[in-house]
Structures are given as C-alpha cells and as structure tokens.
C-alpha cells in the first residue's frame, strides 16, 4: 500500500523550475532514498511534502488523502528530522521535547521522552540547554523529536550528517528495526551512498528538478555496470 503518492509535482519560482513534473510513491515499510546533487530539487520536494512550500502544480496524497485538504491530519502521522534544523537553544532538552510531545498530543509524554532518549543515549542530557550540546548530540535530540508521535512516515534530510560512526550506525540500526517492527515508511536524503545502499529499498535520483533514475540500489548498480552506488551517482550527475 502506498502511504505517500506524489503525482506530477511541479514547483516554479518565477521562470525557474525547481521541481519539474515528478511522480513517485512511498510504500508502507519502505525506505526510499531521494538522491541527487546540490540544487537537484530534493529540498524543495521535501518542503512541499511538509507543507512549507506550496506546489505550483500536482498533488500530494498521504494515506490516499489530499495533503492540501487534510494537512493537519496528515502532519499528525508524519515527522521530519534534518541535520539543518534545530530546537530552541536557550531552553532545556526536556522542555523542548515536552513542547513537541504536546504539539503531537502524545499520550504519556514523560514515558515516551524517557524511552526514546534512553535508546539514543541522551537521557542524561535532558536537563541541559540544547545550545550547550555538541552537534552530534543535537542531531540525536532532533531524531528523538521526530519519533515522539510514532510517525507512520518519516522524512529524514541528511540525518547522519553530523554523527560519529558509532551513533550513525546506531541510528541506521534503529531505522532498520522500526521499519521492520512498525512498518514505518521513510523518505531519506543523504550524500553518504554507503548508508543509502544499506538502508534504502529503492532510490530516486533527481537532477535539475527531474527524476532521472529510480530503482533498487542493486538494480541501478547492475544496470549501469558499476561497483557501488557512489559510482552510479557520479555517472548520473557527470554523465549528462
């Protein structure tokens, strides 16, 4: 079952077309990699999926409901984690997470926050001010925030960008676990092709606003006669 359907999505900023008529689906329990060079249109696509940019044309359906008409309902079921967003620096981690637990109407905020922060080994940071944390710790807190509402779909924009290999591996393991246990669907962007190969069931390559290739990582590697996804990336980007 497709939990997210994107059809003929277009975004134009005056004469510049950032996203040019793309269509794709994200299935229940699937991890879909959204890849491409800088300026390919990945971020604009994610912003449209989150409702912070309005599409020029096309439709976005979450759970077969039109996102433009059921935005609040859809946003309750999804969440977002990015290495480029922050929480409030001046307040404590606990205060930040409590605010988001209430925003997502989490049943037992205290228990949920404790459980997630313990898993990501940031429980002892709950009373620290967010601004005093290292970027790796902040990223882990952002991931905790994105899991508070037990989302059905998670949009992750380079979530491991500032994590050390240990925590990065832990996050990827966690993604693999929740994906299999809870059928969580994930749209994942990263420039790290190794982790994309590891966790993505399917990848979409974007370039200049268009989808230029999509398949499983293995199939793309085979199709282009390459040894790994990084070489596929370079072939697609430089081959044009």
Partner 1 sequence: MSIKRIKAILLLDFFISKQSLEIIFDVFIFPIFTNIIVFGFFTLYLTRNNFGYDPTSILIGMIYWQPIFVISYSIGVGSLWNIWAKNLTNIFISPISTNEYLIAYSFSGLFKGLLILILGYIVSFFIFKINVFSIGLFSSLLYFINVSIFGLSFGIFCLGLVFRFGTRIQALSWGLIFILQPIMAVIYPVSILPKPFQFVAYLFPPTYVFEAIRNNLSGVPDTSLFIVKAFLLNILWFIFSIYFFRMMLKKSKEIGQFSKLEI
Binding to partner 1 by residue 84, rule CB under 8 A?
Answer: yes
Alpha carbon of 25 to those of 8, 31, 111, 154, 187: distances in Å? 12, 11, 34, 14, 10
Binding to partner 1 by residue 72, rule CB under 8 A?
Answer: yes
Residues 117-156 that bind partner 1 (CB under 8 A): 129, 145
Residue 210 bridge partners (DSSP): 207
For partner 1, the closer of residues 97 and 229 by Cβ is 97
Applying CB under 8 A, which of residues 80, 120, 188, 205 lies at the interface with partner 1?
80
Closest contact distance (angstroms) between CB of 233 and partner 1 is 25
Residues 192-221 that bind partner 1 (CB under 8 A): none
Closest contact distance (angstroms) between CB of 238 and partner 1 is 28
Closest contact distance (angstroms) between CB of 75 and partner 1 is 4
Binding to partner 1 by residue 98, rule CB under 8 A?
Answer: yes
Binding to partner 1 by residue 95, rule CB under 8 A?
Answer: yes
- The DSSP result for 165-227, as a single string, is HHHHHHHHHHHHHHHHHH--EEEEE-S-HHHHHHH-SEEEEEETTEEEEEE-HHHHHHHTT-S
Q: What are phi and psi of 129, to 5 degrees?
A: -75, 140
CB 48 within 8 A of CB 59: no
Q: Do strands 2-13 and 16-27 pair parallel, antiparallel, or not at all (unpaired)?
A: antiparallel
Q: Which residues bind partner 1 (CB under 8 A)?
A: 13, 44, 47, 50-54, 72-73, 75-76, 78-80, 84-92, 95, 98-100, 102-105, 129, 145
């Amino acid at each position: 079952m497709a939990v997210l359907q994107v059809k003929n999505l277009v975004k134009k900023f005056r004469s510049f077309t950032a996203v040019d008529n793309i269509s794709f689906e994200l299935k229940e329990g699937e991890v879909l990699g959204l890849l491409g060079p800088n300026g390919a249109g990945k971020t604009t696509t994610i912003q449209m999926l989150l409702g912070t940019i309005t599409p020029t044309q096309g439709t976005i359906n979450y759970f077969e409901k039109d996102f433009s008409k059921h935005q609040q309902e859809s946003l309750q079921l999804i969440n977002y984690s990015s290495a480029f967003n922050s929480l409030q620096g001046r307040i404590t981690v606990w205060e930040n997470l409590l605010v988001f637990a209430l925003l997502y109407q989490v049943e037992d905020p205290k228990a949920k926050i404790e459980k997630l922060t313990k898993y990501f080994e940031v429980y002892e940071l709950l009373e620290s001010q967010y601004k005093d944390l290292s970027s790796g710790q902040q990223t882990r807190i952002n991931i905790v925030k994105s899991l508070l509402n037990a989302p059905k779909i998670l949009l992750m924009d380079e979530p491991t960008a500032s994590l050390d290999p240990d925590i990065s591996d832990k996050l990827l393991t966690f993604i693999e676990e929740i994906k299999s246990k809870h059928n969580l669907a994930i749209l994942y962007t990263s420039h790290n092709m190794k982790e994309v190969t590891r966790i993505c069931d399917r990848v979409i390559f974007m370039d200049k606003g268009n989808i230029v290739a999509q398949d499983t990582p293995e199939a793309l590697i085979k199709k282009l006669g390459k040894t790994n996804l990084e070489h596929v990336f370079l072939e697609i980007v430089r081959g044009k």
